[in-house]
């Protein structure tokens, strides 16, 4: 009787023991698969904070950013918003506002020669009304403060503003006020 009871108990234990082990094994597999998926593609990686420097030295704001207030454009003889900031300085050198990669170089009569640089954090800076002696090309890696070209009056849509830099800052493809990112008060 004693032996029969014991063997029944062992059978019971074996059956449920195997079941428990199977459950634990399945849980481990599920966890490993889950962790692998969640740590793989689709998880955004923090790009860190972008630190900005100034695009010109000792610059004066010729025309400020305005997304609602209309400003008169003498060159085009019309009132318009200005989703950029115009700067001029005795030193016409123009410098990248942050580390990044040159993603476009354009030349057209409206905006003159322009350079577009992409940075971390979804920021893109665009420097227009430059002279054609640019110091960078598409694909170049640039550092904050690196000279990229010189301000000019090459943009016909702002030619009456004289030699100046027409500076635009985009965040995730939308124009933002450079005053909120660049320390223009302490130039």
Binding site for Zn ion (CB under 5 A): 84, 86, 166
Nearest-approach distance from CB 107 to Zn ion, in angstroms: 17
Q: Which residue, 100 or 112, has its beta carbon nearer to Zn ion?
A: 112
Whose structure tokens read 């698969």? 33
Exposure string over 33-62, b if 16+ CB within 10 A, otherwise e:
eeeeeeeeeeeeeeeeebebebbbeebebb
Nearest-approach distance from CB 109 to Zn ion, in angstroms: 15
In sequence order, what DSSP letters do the residues of 2-13 get, joined into one string?
Answer: HHHHHHHHHHHH
Chain residue whose CB lies nearest Zn ion: 166
Exposure string over 77-102, b if 16+ CB within 10 A, otherwise e:
eeeeebbbbbbbbeebebbbbbbbeb
3 state DSSP class of 128: strand
* 118 closest CA partner among 140, 135, 134: 140
Q: Which residue, 20 or 107, has its beta carbon nearer to Zn ion?
A: 107
The Cα–Cα gap between 97 and 125 comes to 8
The Cα–Cα gap between 167 and 179 comes to 11
Q: Which residue, 82 or 119, has its beta carbon nearer to Zn ion?
A: 82
Nearest-approach distance from CB 42 to Zn ion, in angstroms: 40
Q: Which residue, 50 or 84, has its beta carbon nearer to Zn ion?
A: 84
The Cα–Cα gap between 116 and 122 comes to 13
Nearest-approach distance from CB 158 to Zn ion, in angstroms: 5
Nearest-approach distance from CB 169 to Zn ion, in angstroms: 13
Q: Which residue, 101 or 153, has its beta carbon nearer to Zn ion?
A: 153
Q: Which residue, 84 or 159, has its beta carbon nearer to Zn ion?
A: 84
Tokens, residue 22 = 């199977």
Nearest-approach distance from CB 78 to Zn ion, in angstroms: 13
């Amino acid at each position: 009787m004693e032996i029969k009871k014991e063997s029944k108990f062992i059978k019971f234990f074996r059956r449920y023991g195997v079941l428990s082990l199977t459950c634990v094994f399945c849980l481990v597999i599920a966890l490993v698969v889950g962790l692998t998926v969640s740590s793989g593609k689709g998880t955004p990686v923090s790009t860190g904070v972008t630190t900005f420097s100034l695009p010109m030295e000792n610059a004066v704001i010729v025309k400020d950013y305005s997304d609602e207030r209309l400003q008169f454009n003498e060159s085009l003889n019309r009132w318009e918003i200005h989703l950029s900031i115009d700067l001029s300085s005795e030193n016409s050198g123009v410098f990248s506002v942050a580390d990044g990669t040159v993603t476009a170089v354009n030349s057209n009569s409206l905006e003159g020669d322009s350079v577009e640089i992409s940075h971390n954090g979804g920021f893109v800076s665009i420097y227009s009304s430059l002279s054609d002696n640019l110091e960078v090309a598409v694909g170049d890696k640039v550092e904050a403060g690196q000279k990229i070209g010189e301000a000019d009056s090459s943009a016909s849509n702002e030619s009456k503003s004289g030699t100046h830099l027409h500076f635009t800052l985009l965040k995730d493809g939308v124009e933002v006020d450079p005053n909120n990112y660049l320390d223009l008060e302490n130039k």
